[in-house]
Chain A
Amino acid sequence: MAAPQLRILVAVKHGVDVGLARADRTTGVVALDTAPRKTSDFDRNAVEEAVRIRERLGGRVTAISVGSASAREALRDAVAIGADDAILVTDPAVPVFDTRAVSRVLAAVSRTLGGFDLFLLGEGSSDHFAGLVGPRVAGELGVADVAYVRKLTVDATGVVAEKDLERELEVVRASFPVIVTVGQEINTPRLPTFMATLKASKKEIRQLSVAEIGLDAAHLDPTVRIDRAAVPATTRKQVTITGNTPDEVARTLVDALRTEGALP
């Protein structure tokens, strides 16, 4: 009898594009609802890792996104990298910056799909960067989790993962089902070919409502509210140092730094 296929889930967020989001000139406030969006950086690493595992061991990679209809873009990115299937849970009831609601949705989707062996996520999103969702889904489902992984080995029964902590590297073994979160050090996501991108644009995205995954709006009541997000004002002197030669530039700079006390 053939071994059962590896079931790999990967979550992708269509988050605020940090490079393009603009702050109000006077107040510094960033309008998160209307800011341009893109696939969150580390999520691409999660998809790449999922696809590499499938390429080695076989199985099926299902990408899941939670958000508005624009989150289709993140799913198309995942399919272009190599995900087999794409599922979008879109419902205005889901507060996308509330990790409780997003985690409940991801846990419910995984139950609807009949479970998983390995569930990969980015260790944090470029916009919110709380690092909560992966471990949170694991807590909700009562399965193992390993966060901040920069090296991952998968076999028929589980994973060996190297966690990148502040001052240490910790190697951990966990059996399936397991949730793993990764950062950008784990791999370099491939640049999809033109053909892969074209194919991804035609891929059918399975859309599920909150009700179809067994939740109702009360499960998703916001518990966290973002009152304000603003770019702190920076006041730099912006003095341009010039000179006819590098030596002259250097002397002028050193004098300026000594005058203001930045150098003894």
Chain B
Amino acid sequence: MSPESVLCWSEDPDLAGQLVRLARSVASGPEDRVFAASFDPPSDDGSRRIAEAGAHVLIRPNPAGPASTDPHVVASELRALVDTSHVTLVLLGSTKRGREIAGRLAGLLDAPAETGVARVHLDAGAVVVEREMLSGNALAQETLIARPAVVAIMPDVSASSPPPTVPVVQQVPSTSPAPLSERLELRPKPSGGVRLESAERIVTIGRGLQKKDDLVLIEALATALGASVGCTRPLAAEAGWLSDDHWIGLTGHRVKPRLYIAIGVSGAVQHLVGMRDSQTVVAINKDPNAPIFGQADYRVTGDLYAVVPALTKALDAK
């Protein structure tokens, strides 16, 4: 088997560090090499931290300025590094930007690619990945046959801690591609200030809620439980009753709380994928045939406008 040469890149420095640790556990042979790309100035602290995670960091100061996130510029620079470092596997972060770069880079390299990858290993020269399919309903194992391969990895994928190495940061010349797009504006999204990914308990409200004012019922229950408030897609993306950071589902947030209470949530497949990893699930719905009940540990068939206040009262009573 010829040695592996892995190139890691993510726009998120934490994710880049995770990719490097994963790369070192996947390609752990004595001849294998792990590189990381950076477009930040060499003085930047991020490069050193990524190097300390165990990668040989190759810096190409971005000619279009550090703020350039033009997919063509990033993919072209990565492509040049793939060529010069004889890269066999590219690991990117499976963020929206990362998936876009993965596609663009795979197009430039004519390489196989996959995104949303939760596990990766090498098997007789092929890259074997595990990822979700069918809007998150199924888990697929796929094999990328040709090399180099481009794989975008989900955040927070665990990897064993590799042995320490001497950090190396090396500056290499840029290929200076001209951007094909220009950023006019970058602004933070409106936020309700919640981080559902790390919530211990979550109360999620769905379309069973009749009007925005009734959110107070849900908030009172959340307070009694010490829980965060989540919602389904229609309440965030369509009605706008809650900001996107409350939205749980395929294109929203993925959560894994100790306790998940779904209220007036029918249980569309795109929602279920967002809450599937919850430990204990309670469903409250007036429709006894709601699909959410198939995913519930405790099922309450009833009107949320009667059950939720009663539940808040029962919790406050003790």
Contact = CB atoms under 8 A, between A and B. Distances in A.
Given A139-B104, A145-B71, A250 B144 contact: no
Contact of A148 (B100, B111, B318): B100
Contacts of A230: 138-140
Contact of A167 (B112, B134, B142, B188): B188
Query: Interface of chain B, helix or strand or loop or mixed?
Result: mixed
Given A100-B111, A224-B144, A246-B302, A236 B281 contact: yes
A58 B303 CA distance: 50
B264 interface: no
A128 B294 CA distance: 24
Q: What are the nearest 4 A-B pairs in CB distance?
A: A139-B107, A135-B103, A223-B112, A144-B180
A139 B184 contact: no
A129 B184 contact: no
Given A165-B97, A224-B113, A227-B140, 9 more contacts: A19-B269, A30-B138, A130-B116, A138-B104, A170-B185, A174-B182, A246-B302, A254-B314, A257-B282
A18 interface: yes
A75 interface: no
A18 B137 contact: yes
A57 interface: no
Interface in B248-298: 250-251, 258-259, 269, 276, 279-282, 293-298
A181 to B, nearest CB: 8
B166 interface: no
Contacts of A168: 186-189
Nearest to A170: B186
B314 A139 contact: no
Interface in B158-202: 180-189, 191
Given A223-B111, A256-B298, A145 B104 contact: yes
A132 B107 CA distance: 9
Contact of B181 (A132, A146, A240): A146
30 contacts: A16-B134, A18-B269, A100-B112, A127-B134, A129-B132, A138-B104, A140-B108, A144-B180, A148-B96, A148-B100, A165-B96, A167-B188, A170-B186, A171-B186, A172-B184, A174-B181, A178-B181, A224-B142, A226-B142, A227-B141, A230-B138, A234-B276, A241-B299, A246-B310, A250-B314, A251-B314, A253-B300, A253-B311, A253-B314, A263-B259
B289 to A, nearest CB: 13
B310 A257 contact: no
